[in-house]
Amino acid sequence: MFHVDSIMNALYTSIASDAAIVSSGFVVELEPVNQGDMNIGLWCGVYFIDAPFAPGAMGGQQFDGVVDMSVVVRATDAGGRAASILALQRAVKPVLTAIWCNLTLGGTVDVIDTINIQPFEIQRSTEDFIQSYEIQLAAKLNGALP
């Protein structure tokens, strides 16, 4: 059986407890309503997207599913757009490392098999001091129904 709360807490804990993230001053939040305090330089939000499941083998006694999650990483730099993009590219590395080091999320999923990075809320002006990436994750699950 799967439990979304266990999966999301495992992802959050993997990121929030990573030594590089802790030492760099990241603020990591689970399911925040907004992108946190804009005065915080390094910010990361962990979100549940959806979990489609289909009946699997053995006459419907198994399930096959995918849990889609999103991790938004934000960085700021008063030097403008180019400097904030560089700060974001430096900031996303330890987040990806924390994810790569725990692809089963402590055994709550079979494996995170898809990782996609894209700009989040694209801003294109020379005065942009805040930049964000969204890391989209898809984790495979299969198991027995209760």
For residue 41, the model assigns a pLDDT of: 79
Q: What is the model's pTM?
A: 0.88
Count of structural domains within the chain: 1
Mean pLDDT (whole number) for 13-18: 96
Domain carrying residue 88:
4-144
Residues ≥6 apart with Cβ < 8 Å to 25: 41, 42
Q: How many CA atoms lie within 13 A of 112 on its CB side?
A: 24
pLDDT band per the 50, 70, 90 thresholds, residue 71: very high
Cα–Cα distance, 58 to 69 (Å, whole number): 28
Residue 85's domain is classified under what CATH number?
3.30.2000.10
In this structure, the dihedral spanned by the alpha carbons of residues 76, 78, 83 and 84, taken in order and rounded to 10 degrees, is 20
Tens-digit pLDDT profile for residues 17-70: 999 999 998 999 998 866 656 667 789 999 999 988 877 655 566 778 899 999
Sequence-distant (6+) residues with CB within 8 A of 7 are: 48, 67, 69, 105, 108, 109, 139
